[in-house]
Amino acid sequence: MEGLIVNGFSRLSKEDRINWLVKNFTNNSLKTKEILSQYWLDNKELQKLHDEFSENTISNFFLPWGIAPNFLIDGEMYALPMVTEESSVVAAAANAAKFWLNKGGFSTQVLGTTKLGHIHFFYKGNKEKFTNWFQNFLKIKLEDATAEITQNMRSRGGGITSIILQDNTAKLEGYYFIEVSFDTRDSMGANFINSCLEEMTKILKEEMNQSESFQSNEKESLQITMSILSNYVPDCRVRAEVCCEVDELDVKVMSPYEFAVKFKQAIDIATVETFRATTHNKGIMNGIDAVVIATGNDFRAVESCAHTYASRSGKYRGLTNCIIEDNIFRFWLEIPLALGVVGGLTKLHPLVRASLEILKKPTSEKLMKIVAVSGLAQNFAAIRSLITTGIQKGHMKMHLLNILNQLGATNSEKELLSNLFKDQIVSHHRVVKEFNKLRRNS
Ligand code: MEV
C-alpha cells in the first residue's frame, strides 16, 4: 500500500503527478510517461484552459472532430460538426444527408422547451393542511425568493413557469416533491435551475419553522432530502422527419417498395423488441452524441434522458417511427434534448465556439433541431445498411485502415491492400499476413 495513497495530489505539478502515477501504478514505465506528456499542447494558454476544465489533469484526450456536410434542414444547408471515435459514424451521417438532399431534406419542429427541477422531501403531517399551505402561501414565497436569481433570465423571456406540489406518498411513505418548471432560453440551465432550487429549499425550511399553522411534530416531520434538476425533460422535445414518395427510395440493391417495407419492419422490430431497441437507439445516439459533444453540451444528460424517454410506456422501445401511407414513406424521431448555446463550455472551448459558428450560431431550439436531425440521419443510414448490404462492409473499410495505420503502412501499401480486401473479410490476422507478404516482396 505504501506509495499508493497520496495526499494533496491536486497541489502537485503536472510532472510530479505523472511521476507519482507511473512510479506507483506502472512500474515506472517510461513509455506511459512519454505518452501522457506527448499530448500536452505547445500553446501554454490553451493547455491551461484545458487543465482548468477538470481536476487533477495530467494529459489531454483527443477525439476526432469531423464534418458531415450536405444537410438540408428546414430549407437551409448545414455542415454538422461531429466528435466521435467510432469509424463510419460521420460517413454514415454524410451519406444519409446526401440521400435526403434531393428529396426535400429534413424538416423539424420543437415541441416544447420546459426544463424541470425538484425539491424531494418527506412530510408525515396532515396532507390537506400542507397542500393548502403550499397553494395559498408557500408557492408565492418560493417565487419571490428567487426573483433576484431569475431576473436576468426573465429579462431574456425565460424564468420559472410553474411550481407544483406532487404527492408521491403512494410510492413511498411520506414522500412528496415540489416540481419547478423552467424556461432557460438559450442556456442548458443546470446551474440556474439548481441555484433556484437551493434558494427555494431554504425558504421551505424557514417558512415551515416560522409558520403558526403547523404543530411542532408536523414541523419536525418535514425532512428535505435533496434539491436537483431532473435530466428527464419529456416536454423539452423536438421532432425531426424525412418523407418522400416510395418510388424515390433509390437504393439500387432492391426495389423502392421492397426497401420501404423492409425499412418499416426494422423500425417496428425496434418498437416491440428491447434487444433490438437498445442497439437501434445506440445508433441514434451515435449521431446525437457526436453533435452534442462538438457543441460542448452534456452528453450524459442527453443520453440518460433519451433512454428514460424510450421507456416511457413501461417498456424500452426504439425512438424512431415509420409509416408508409398513400405511397408516402415517412420516417421520424421524437426526442427530448436539453441543450444550451450559451454558458458552460460554449464560450470557453475554442472548438465548441468553432462548432457553433459553423452551425450559424444557432439558438438552443435550432440546435435541438440540428441534433435531432443528426440522430435521425444516423438511424436512417444504419437501417439502410442493415437491411441491404449489412454494416460490416462499411465498417471493415475503416477497420482495415486502422490496422494498416497501426502497422505503419505507406499510402501505396494502403492502396494495394485496400484493393486486395475489397471483396474479402477483413481480420487483423489476415491483414498482418498480407502486409508482411507485401513488405517481403518489395
Ligand atoms: C453501431 O455503432 C450502431 C448500429 O449497430 C446501430 C443499429 O444497429 O441500428 C449500426
- What's the whole-model pTM score? 0.92
The reply to whether 146 and 105 lie within a common domain is: no
Find the catalytic residue in 282, 307, 349, 397. 282
Q: 332 near 376, Cβ under 8 Å? A: yes
The reply to whether 241 and 351 lie within a common domain is: yes
d(CA 273, CA 266): 10
Domain boundary among 179, 202, 230: 230
For the domain that residue 75 is a member of, what is the CATH number?
Answer: 3.90.770.10
Q: Which of 85, 280, 281 gets mutated to test ligand 1 (max ligand atoms within 8 A of its CB)?
A: 280
Q: 59 near 39, Cβ under 8 Å? A: yes
Q: Which residues are CB-neighbours of 366 under 8 A, at least 6 positions away?
A: 359
Question: Would you say residue 269 has pLDDT above 80?
Answer: yes
The reply to whether 378 and 418 lie within a common domain is: no
Transcribe 59-107 into DSSP letters.
Answer: S-----EEEEEEEEETTEEEEEEEE-SSTTHHHHHHHHHHHHHTTT-BE
Domain residue limits at 147? 115-230
- 379 CA → ligand 1 middle, Å: 8
- Residue 395's pLDDT is 72
298 as an active site residue: the answer is yes
Cα-only R_g, the chain: 27
Q: What confidence tens digit (pLDDT) does each residue in 382-437 have?
A: 999 999 988 777 777 778 888 999 999 999 999 999 999 887 888 899 999 999 99
Domain boundary among 207, 230, 253: 230
Domain boundary among 166, 195, 230: 230
86 as an active site residue: the answer is yes
Which set of grid coordinates corresponds to residue 336?
Answer: 427530448
Residue of minimum CA distance from atom 9 in ligand 1: 280
d(CA 307, CA 319): 9
The reply to whether 105 and 243 lie within a common domain is: yes
The reply to whether 155 and 140 lie within a common domain is: yes
Of ligand 1's atoms, which has the minimum distance to the CA of residue 89? 2
Residue type, 119: I
- Binding pocket residue ranges, ligand 1, CB within 6 Å: 86, 279-280, 282-283, 286, 382, 386, 391
Question: Would you say residue 326 has pLDDT above 80?
Answer: yes
- Residue 426's pLDDT is 86
The reply to whether 5 and 72 lie within a common domain is: no
Percentage of the chain exceeding pLDDT 90: 92
- 279 CA → ligand 1 middle, Å: 6
Helix (H) or strand (E) holding 226: strand 223-230
For the domain that residue 190 is a member of, what is the CATH number?
Answer: 3.30.70.420
Find the catalytic residue in 183, 199, 298, 365. 298
The reply to whether 99 and 244 lie within a common domain is: yes
The reply to whether 165 and 199 lie within a common domain is: yes
- Residue 202's pLDDT is 98
- 382 CA → ligand 1 middle, Å: 6
Question: Per the structure, how many domains does the chain have?
Answer: 4
Of ligand 1's atoms, which has the minimum distance to the CA of residue 283? 6
Find the catalytic residue in 15, 16, 52, 86. 86
The reply to whether 204 and 81 lie within a common domain is: no
- 409 CA → ligand 1 middle, Å: 29
The reply to whether 272 and 314 lie within a common domain is: yes
The reply to whether 87 and 193 lie within a common domain is: no
The pLDDT of 28-56, averaged and rounded, is 96
Q: What confidence tens digit (pLDDT) does each residue in 350-377 have?
A: 999 999 999 999 999 999 999 999 999 9
The reply to whether 121 and 248 lie within a common domain is: no
